[in-house]
Each structure stands twice: as C-alpha cells, then as structure tokens.
Amino acid sequence: MNEYKFSDIYVGLTESFEAKITSEMQDRFLKICGDINPLHIEEEYARQNGFAYRVVYGLLTSSFYSTLVGVYLPGKYCILHGIDIQFSAPVFIGDVLKVTGKIIYINDAYKQLEIKAFITNQNNKKISKSIIKTGLLHE
C-alpha cells in the first residue's frame, strides 16, 4: 500500500494497477447489492439485447476507483470526497482491467486532491473514466 502524504503529492503523479474480473466477483456483487437485472445474470437475455455475454456491474468495475485512491494514489491516508463516473463500454467476466489515476489539481488550502482516472480493458479500450476528489489524513 502506498502512503503518500500531502507534501509528497504533485500534479502529474500517476499510479496504476490491474485486476481480472471473475464470475465469483459478479456473484458476490449481486449478493451485496441485490441488483437482479437480467442483463447481469442471464447470458441469453444479454445476447438478445446485443451483448456477447452477461454484463459486469458498472459499479463493480468502478469499485476499483476506490482501490485506486485507497491503496495507490494517495493510498493509506486517503479520505474519499466524491467520484464522478462516466461509462463508455461494457465489461465481461474474464476481462483484465487496468486502472490508472493522475493528480490533476491540488487545493492547498483545504488539502484536497483531484484525480483524473480511467479504466481500460485488455484490448486497451476505455470502459469508464472518472474525476475523483479526495482529502488526506496526513500532511
């Protein structure tokens, strides 16, 4: 786990990591949130609606934005203030996602960081992008 302090942070600082989506993740997410929409749990329904396979929950893939800030950038001392997410492509079980975040703005007075982040799949296609705002527990 990274432990960036406020004094370590600069505009342009970038971190990334990879994660593979498994069927177990999809099933666990269903148990957590109870979203029984058939697009996420029925292969046939997904195919009938133009998708090759059942679609992974968008908020499951977006949970990696939490990992990005909580573990990598800034890491241990992060306090999440907000996330604005836009989805651009579906994710399927077995996809390998790369999550990348870069510091784009620092509010020195209130010690808030603004991070531009995005997730790509194994084909380098962007599946979502986000603007994340975080505070820091440590100066």
Partner 1 sequence: MNRDEIFSGVQEIFRDIFDEDDLIIEYSTNSDSIEDWDSLNHINLVSAIEKEFKIKFALGELLTLKDVGAMIDLMLVKLK
Six-digit token pair at 16?
Answer: 């990334």
* Phi/psi at 109 (5° precision): -65, -45
- Cβ proximity to partner 1, 35 vs 114, nearer residue: 114
Task: Please state the closest distance from residue 59 (CB atom) to partner 1, in A.
Answer: 21
Contacts for 44 with CB less than 8 Å, ≥ 6 apart: none
From start to end of the chain, where are the E strands? 14-20, 78-87, 96-107, 112-120, 126-136
Q: Which is nearer to partner 1, 44 or 84 (CB)?
A: 84
Nearer to partner 1 by C-beta: 16 or 112?
112
In the complex, the smallest distance separating the C-beta of residue 110 from partner 1, rounded to whole angstroms, is 5
Give the number of other CB atoms < 10 A from CB of residue 94.
12
Q: Which helix (H) or strand (E) holds 124?
A: none
**Would you say 58 and 128 are in contact if contact means Cβ atoms under 8 Å apart?**
yes
Closer CB to partner 1, residue 24 or residue 139? 139
Closest approach, Cβ 111 to partner 1, in A, equals 9
Residue 78: CB minimum distance to partner 1, A: 15
Write out the residues near partner 1 by the rule CB under 8 A: 81-82, 105, 107-110, 112, 114, 133
